[in-house]
Amino acid sequence: MTPTATSPIPTVLDERFRAAAAASGLLDVAYDVLDDTPVGPLLVGVSERGLCRVSFDPEPETELERLGREFGPRILRTPSALDRVRRELDEYFAGRRQAFDLDLDLSAAPEFHRRVLAELNRVGYGRTTTYGALAAQVGSPRAARAVGTVMNRNPMPIVLPCHRVVGANGSLTGYGGGLDRKEWLLRLEGALL
Amino acid sequence: MVTGIPPFERFYETHKVEVLAFLRRRAGQDQADDLFQETFLRALRAYGRLEHGEHLRAWVLTIATNAAIDAGRRERPSAELDNDPAGEDERPAFEELAPLTDELPPKERAAVVLRYGYDLDYDTIGAALGSNEQAARQAASAGVRRLRKEKEQR
């Protein structure tokens, strides 16, 4: 590669381009990384249809590749496009919001996943359900294990509340973001004492 | 589907410093900021239609060159295309085909290089040049005709 100026570009120029890109409507996914939430850093992304990603412990390299395969390569970190998502998550973490008022883009999820996630979205704040019950609600009562897989691949945890799904015996079972976070979220909602 | 094409974020982070430095040398500090944004917005517009992720550095510097040419032309509306001084100094994106396409007017040269050097389709080239598919096609074929004529005359 050619040696070039090593000084970074002015921040104002960088921010101006990112804002213009967000406003241009040309992005497949606009994302940001929220560094200081109570559950650690979260990568959040929106497509033109709505929220399309919430990711714990994001490794941007891997995560952006995955978003590229699912939504297209025009992916850019544009904090201004995530203002609303950031605000609703802040309110949720502060205990001031019980339901998210966001459009969701599940277009990249397989059909069975979409059905399960739609059912999941009806499990209210502070409530819990089981893998088996969700399976029965989508008409596949024996598919509890498959429902577990859908939870594990949930493209937007917290907003689609897979932390509210527990084992039939009441154990927390598992969580894509780790059991500590599941427990924290359930305590926040008063579902665990 | 989009294999080999990096997420735009990585493309932008990889090339932004060099593009700005290039534009400052080329168009001066004052204009460079506006051209920087214009360059990456043009790249973003064309990015979804790229068919592979090769030569992206050459590609973005080509776009930067053309953004600078367009800005220069807007400032000197009467300037002849062929005499446009902005088209005569640095052309890093044209390195490989430069000896062959050196004599072409800037737009035609860019269209020929992007089409035959980088194998981009006309739709993408049009977006990269800030025009459209038809104009890109015309520029490339005008360039090829001109090259043929020059060759015959030699």
Render pLDDT for A141-159 as a digit per residue (tens, 0 to 9): 999 999 999 999 999 999 9
Q: Do B17 and A16 touch (CB under 8 A)?
A: no
Residues of A in contact with B40 (CB under 8 A): 17, 21
B52 to chain A: closest CA residue: A73
Contact A130, A168 (CB under 8 A): yes
For A89-93, A114-118, B67-71, which range has the lowest pLDDT when averaged over its residues? B67-71
ipTM for the assembly: 0.89
The DSSP symbol for A156 reads S
Nearest Cβ partner of B8 from A20, A65, A76? A76
Residues A8, B17 contacting (CB under 8 angstroms): yes
Among A16-20, A112-116, B25-29, the range scoring the smallest mean pLDDT is: B25-29
Residues of chain A with C-beta less than 8 angstroms from the C-beta of B8: 27, 73-76
What residues does A34 pair with on adjacent strands? A42
A83: distance to nearest CA of chain B, Å? Answer: 19
Of A162, A165, A185, A186, catalytic: A162
Which A positions 74-133 lie with beta carbon below 8 A of chain B?
Answer: 74-77
The token duo for A159 is 């907003």
Interface of A with B in 127-166 (CB under 8 A): none
Cα-Cα-Cα-Cα dihedral of A74, A77, A80, A85, to 10°? 90
Task: Write down the pLDDT at residue B74.
Answer: 76
Position B117 pLDDT exceeds 90: no
Instruction: Measure in Å the smallest separation between the Cα of B18 and chain A Cα atoms.
Output: 6
A162 catalytic residue (yes or no) = yes
